[in-house]
Structure 1
Amino acid sequence: MLGNIVAFLSSGANIAFFVCALLAIGGAVFMISFTKVVHMLLAMALTFLSLAGLYVLLEAEFVAVVQVLIYAGAVSIVMIFGIMMTRHRGDEVEPKRPLHSWLLGIGCLALFGIIFYAIQQTALPTGEFQAAGDNTMEIGKQLFTLHVIPFELMSVLLTVAFIGAIIVAKREED
């Protein structure tokens, strides 16, 4: 089993994957662990950036750029504005529960161990992946031929959600 880990870490791409995966998981854990909203937002941005790194490793450059522009950039900025424009009461701190913390840690380690064992015992098929020459053109072809109806439905859904948010904000203002 240890030989598999050494073989995995013998490649630079695998090490980069491991670092990006740890940053993504760490950012997600920190996001739900922090108590200050700005710290949560920074942890979420770290998660988004590390996911973009994983997309680069998967040779999905277009998706990586969209991840950085939309999620790490735009969503983070919108959330910062939301934090700045709302009123916050004093942060209420929960009482410390050491038993719950220990049980949570043991449960996390057990889950990690089970997942690690399952991955080690799984026989994955080997083969050469044939990537498309131009990822962006292939995404466009798929999006506007096979998936045009869901694409249009999503735009209608986002428009309805945007109008609903404006109505709700208008009611709270009055």
Structure 2
Amino acid sequence: MLANIGAFMSNGENIAFFVFALLAIGGAIFMLSFTKVVHMVVALALTFISMAGLYVILEAEFVAFVQVLIYAGAISILMIFGIMMTKHQGEDEEPKRPVHNTLLFIGAAGLFGIIFYVIQTATLPTGEFKAPEDNTMEIGKLLFNQHVIPFELMSVLLTVAFIGAIVVAKREED
């Protein structure tokens, strides 16, 4: 089993995957653990950026760029503006629960151990993946030829959601 770990860590791409995966998982755990909303948004942005790094490793540069541009940038900024524009009452601090945190750590370590064991004992198919020359062009071809109806339905859904948000915001002002 340790020979597999040594072989895994001998490749730089695998080390980068391990680092980005740990950052993504850590950011998600911090986002759930923090009590201040701004800290939660920063942890969520760390998760989004880590996911973009994983997309780069998978040679999906366009998806990584969109991940950073839309999620890490736009969504995080939108959440911060939403926090700044709304009124918040001071909340009491939650009591410290050391037993709860200990059980949480034991459960997470157990889950990690089970996943690690399953990955080490699994036999994965080997093969060569041939990526297209231009990922962005292939995504565009699929999006506007094969998946044009879902793409247009999504744009209509987003427009309706935007109009609905404006209507709800106007009602709250009155």
Q: Which runs of 5+ in 1 are unaligned?
A: none
For 1:111 and 1:98, locate their aligned partners in 2 and report how far apart those are by CA, in whole Å.
20
Does residue 1:74 correspond to 2:77, yes or no? no
Scaled by the length of structure 1, the TM-score of the pair is 0.96
Deviation above 3 Å: which 4+ runs of structure 1? Answer: none
Q: How does 1:155-170 map to 2 (within 5 A)?
A: 155-170=155-170
For 2:62 and 2:121, locate their aligned partners in 1 and report how far apart those are by CA, in whole Å.
33
Does residue 1:154 correspond to 2:141, yes or no? no
Q: Which residue of 1 aligns with 2:27?
A: 27
Deviation at 1:92? 2.4
SS of residue in 2 equivalent to 1:133: coil
Aligned residues: 174
Deviation at 1:76? 1.1
Deviation at 1:121? 1.0
Q: How does 1:127-138 map to 2 (within 5 A)?
A: 127-138=127-138
Give percent identity, aligned residues only. 77
Q: How does 1:107-146 map to 2 (within 5 A)?
A: 107-146=107-146
Deviation at 1:50? 0.9
For 1:32 and 1:100, locate their aligned partners in 2 and report how far apart those are by CA, in whole Å.
14
Deviation at 1:97? 2.4
Deviation at 1:99? 2.4
Does residue 1:53 correspond to 2:25, yes or no? no
For 1:131 and 1:33, locate their aligned partners in 2 and report how far apart those are by CA, in whole Å.
39
Q: Which runs of 5+ in 2 are unaligned?
A: none
Question: Which residue identity does 2:11 align to in structure 1?
Answer: S
Q: Which residue of 2 aligns with 1:44?
A: 44
CA distances 1:26-80 after superposition (whole Å, capped 9, x unpaired): 1111111111111111111111111111111111111111111111111111111
For 1:62 and 1:30, locate their aligned partners in 2 and report how far apart those are by CA, in whole Å.
27
Question: Which residue identity does 1:110 align to in structure 2?
Answer: G
CA-atom RMSD in angstroms = 1.0
Question: Which residue identity does 1:146 align to in structure 2?
Answer: Q
For 1:22 and 1:99, locate their aligned partners in 2 and report how far apart those are by CA, in whole Å.
25
SS of residue in 1 equivalent to 2:50: helix
Deviation at 1:91? 2.4
Question: Which residue identity does 2:166 align to in structure 1?
Answer: I
Q: How does 1:90-109 map to 2 (within 5 A)?
A: 90-109=90-109
Moved more, 90-99 or 30-39: 90-99
For 1:77 and 1:104, locate their aligned partners in 2 and report how far apart those are by CA, in whole Å.
31
Question: Which residue identity does 1:24 align to in structure 2?
Answer: A
For 1:147 and 1:70, locate their aligned partners in 2 and report how far apart those are by CA, in whole Å.
21
Does residue 1:11 correspond to 2:11, yes or no? yes
